Amino acid sequence: MKNLVFLLFVAVFFAACLKTTPTPQPDRILTYMNFSNIQQIDSAAVGDTVKINVIATGPNSCYKFEGFEGKTSGVRQYDIAAVGSIPNPAKGDTICAGGEYIKDTVFTILPLAAGPMILRYYNSGVLYLVDTVHVK
């Protein structure tokens, strides 16, 4: 019994001595970008990859395009946002050159069933454009 108490005491002692290191701050943090142009698609075929040309923008040169965020918001209805990143203000100086950041890129989607597919594009949580693609 004495050995068990001793081992428990030693375990608690060492656990109390362990240092916890804080999680390092990331160099960049995620933020939403705005769409400024979206190529609308009228129709597509089931199983074919649909490529939609889009232009996403950020207000200054510190922005970097990271990708798209998409989620289902209804039956065959999808909400899409452009995601970018900016330097983390907690890491120091974030002075950015003027001028808008512009990224000309492609958004792809794979329709899996026939019928209308509704794509809703958002700029900072505000609906920017609704596109209905007729999938055959």
Q: Say whether pLDDT at 67 is over 90.
A: yes
* Per-residue pLDDT, 130: 96
Model pTM score: 0.77
Q: Is 115 left (phi over 0), alpha (psi -120 to 50) or beta?
A: left
**Per-residue model confidence as pLDDT tens digits over 37-60:** 999 989 999 999 999 999 999 999
